[in-house]
Amino acid sequence: MKTIGLVVHPSRHIDGALASARDWAEAHGVALRQVAIRGQDRRVAELVEPADCDVLLAVGGDGTVLAALDAGGPVGRPVLGIACGSLGALTSAKSGEIDDALDRFASGAWEARALTGLVIRRDGERLDSAINDLVVIRRGSGQVIVEIAIDGALYARTAGDGVVIATALGSSAYTIAAGGPLLSSDHDGLVVTPLADHAGSVPPIVLTGASSLTVTVDGGFSGARVEIDGRIMEDGTGPGQQQPFRLEITVEPCGARLLDFDGETRIAGLRRRGVIADSPRLKARDHRKG
């Protein structure tokens, strides 16, 4: 290993974790550099291109891991996530475990989970890609109208807060918080979950990777906002100026790879972090038995 590329949280206190990473790199003769992330100006090391790194070390939380996956995916660089005071559902180690994590990476004692992504086109032109999710949400006080079509056939029209379209990786975030299903980690498709739909009956729907999805958005007077992996995509229009637009979404391999050391299943990791939790009644029963 020659170079580690840091991707850091824009504001969280991570000095201890960075010090550990610097000490490890110096002791092993490895260069520690920083990968620039769009929209972030925090600098902790000299800049480097993702292609020139052996691994991207994401220090912060799940948002930082997503930024690292977005940067490393196009050049196939694996991402090692370090949780610094966060839930860290996508991370592989805690901040106090950086030395051990880097030792294991350097020795080859790891696996990389290949991820799929959502390729998003707006009115026929490529907009961006998402590793976690695409969210269309109302920008003001009014409802956003969304028409959902699958393989060219209308599924439903909704009026409410918007819609979340997530990969299997992203299904454990906004999707599950909105009452949508959790997809198994090996699922190659996506899930569409309406947000606070006003009346009607539009249940979340799971699609395979071979399906094509089209979402036509009418934001009304207040407009609609598009978020891709948490990044707000500005369209330069104000209230009452936004015209209806169409988003076309397909699933494709994205090149992003997430490191895994112990082979812990995704469900086991979510249970350990408390994202999935048993009924309090059952916990009370276990306590009585204990």
Q: What CATH number is given to the structural domain containing 104?
A: 3.40.50.10330
Contacts of 138 (CB under 8 A, 6+ apart): 144, 161, 162, 219, 222, 223, 224, 225
CA–CA distance from 170 to each of 31, 63, 257 (Å)? 32, 11, 14
Identify whether residues 54 and 172 lie together within a single domain.
no
Number of domains in the chain: 2
Rounded-to-integer distance, Cα 183 and Cα 166, Å? 9
Asked if the structure places residue 289 within a domain, the reply is no
pLDDT at position 85: 80
pLDDT at position 236: 57
Asked if the structure places residue 51 within a domain, the reply is yes
pLDDT at position 86: 77
Rounded-to-integer distance, Cα 93 and Cα 81, Å? 7
pLDDT at position 253: 87
Distance of CA 119 to the CA centre of its chain: 14
Identify whether residues 76 and 25 lie together within a single domain.
yes
Q: Is residue 62 among the annotated active site residues?
A: yes
Owning domain of residue 122: 117-253
DSSP code at position 237: -
Spatial contact of 221 and 239, defined as CB atoms under 8 Å apart: yes
pLDDT at position 235: 65
pLDDT at position 239: 62
Please give the single-letter amino acid code of residue 218: D
pLDDT at position 269: 83
CATH number at residue 174: 2.60.200.30
Identify whether residues 79 and 196 lie together within a single domain.
no
Nearest CA to 174 among 159, 192, 188? Answer: 192
Burial of 124: CB neighbours in 10 Å, binned 0-12, 13-18, 19+: exposed
Identify whether residues 138 and 160 lie together within a single domain.
yes
pTM for the structure as a whole:
0.88
Nearest CA to 215 among 169, 168, 155? Answer: 155
Identify whether residues 183 and 228 lie together within a single domain.
yes
Asked if the structure places residue 285 within a domain, the reply is no
Nearest CA to 243 among 259, 221, 228, 210? Answer: 221
pLDDT at position 30: 97
Among 62, 70, 133, 229, which one carries the catalytic annotation? 62
Identify whether residues 127 and 71 lie together within a single domain.
no
Identify whether residues 132 and 87 lie together within a single domain.
no
pLDDT at position 100: 94
Identify whether residues 14 and 50 lie together within a single domain.
yes
pLDDT at position 237: 62
pLDDT at position 266: 80
Rounded-to-integer distance, Cα 120 and Cα 127, Å? 6
Q: Which residues of the chain have pLDDT under 50?
A: none
